[in-house]
Structure 1
Amino acid sequence: MTTIQKQDWHHSGSSCCSPMGTCCMSWWCPCFQYGKTRHRSKNNGNMSGYSACNTSCLAFFGLCCLGVSFILPMINRGDIRAKYHLTGNGCTDCLCACCCQPCDMTQQDKEITYREEQALMSQQPGKVAGMQYSQQQHQPQFHHG
C-alpha cells in the first residue's frame, strides 16, 4: 500500500494580511470570499464562470445568520487538505475556522492559488538548458609579410 506523504501548508494562517484585497474580503465580506475560495477549490483554480453571488456565498450567508458560519470554511479546509495532501485533521480544521475565520479563509484562498500555480508550472515543458559553449581549439595565426 502506497501512502502519500503529507505536506505542510505553504501559507501560514497568521500571514492573513497579504494580499490586502483577500484580507479585506475575508474580514468585511466573508460570504463573497468564501464563495470565491470555494469556486476556486472546486475548479482547480480556474475562475471562469465565477460569480460573486454564487450558491456557496448564499449558503455561507445563511449559516452566518444562524451563527454557525464556521461550518462551511471548516469543510472546505478539509477538502483542500485532502486534495493537496496537506497536514492537519478535522480538529485543526474546526479550530482554524472557529478561532479566526477571516485568517483561515485568507489562508485557504492563498493555498489554493499557490498549489494550482505549482501544478501549472509542473505541467510546462522542460526548461531549455542554458547555452553551452564548447571549448575552442587553438588555431595558429598566420602573418602576411
Structure 2
Amino acid sequence: MSSHGKVPWSTGLCDCNEDTGNCFLTCFCPCISFGRIAEIADEGSFSCGACCALYVLVHLLTSRLGAVLLSCVYRRKLKKQYNLEGNDCTDFCLHLWCSPCATCQEYRELQHQGFDLTKGWDGNVGKRRAGVEMAPGVQKGMNR
C-alpha cells in the first residue's frame, strides 16, 4: 500500500500477455469493453448496451476527445471504488495516448475484483446473492 493509503492496480498498463481476448476486443471494438466496464462501475444502473451506445454516440459527435473524457470518468469511478492509485491528469493522458491499454487494465482490474464482465452486473450480483463464490482467474495452458 502506498503512503497515501492507495493501492496499486492489480496489473500494469501493458500486462496484456495473458489477456489477448480482452486486448483484441478493446482494440477492434472498444465500445464493448467500455460498456462492460461502465455497467459494473455503475452497479447496473445502465446496461452494457446502453453504455456502449453512449460511447459510440459521444465518439461520433465529438470525435475521439469525448470518448477519452468519458473513459476517464469511469477510470476515476474505479479508482474511487477500489481505492486505486492515480490522478486525473494521468488518467486523461493514458486515455488520450494509450486508450486501449488503459481500458484493458480497467477490465483486468474488475476481473481481479471478482467480476465476470461478460455476465454484466445482474449476472455477477446473482452469483453473489446465491452464495456462489467467484472463481479466481485461471492460467491458460497446462501447468504442473
Q: Do the structures match in fold with TM over 0.5?
A: yes
Q: Which runs of 5+ in 2 are unaligned?
A: 116-127, 133-144
2:103 counterpart residue number: 105
Instruction: Calculate the TM-score normalised by the size of structure 1.
Output: 0.68
1:60 counterpart residue number: 55
Aligned length in residues: 113
Shift of 1:16: 3.0
Please identify the structure whose Cα radius of gyration is greater: 1
Counterpart residue type for residue 20 of structure 1: T
Let me know the Cα RMSD of the aligned residues: 2.7
State the SS of the aligned residue for 1:116.
coil
Q: Is the contact between residue 17 and residue 23 of structure 1 (CA under 8 Å) also seen in structure 2?
A: no
Instruction: Calculate the TM-score normalised by the size of structure 2.
Output: 0.68
Shift of 1:41: 2.3
Shift of 1:60: 0.6
Q: Higher helix fraction: Structure 1 or Structure 2?
A: 2
Deviates more, 1:78-87 or 1:4-13: 4-13
Shift of 1:51: 6.0
Counterpart residue type for residue 28 of structure 1: F
- Consecutive aligned runs of 4 or more in structure 1 exceeding 4 Å deviation: none
Q: Which runs of 5+ in 1 are unaligned?
A: 125-145
2:6 counterpart residue number: 6
Matched residues, percent identical?
A: 23
How far apart in 2 are the matches of 1:88 and 1:13?
Answer: 12
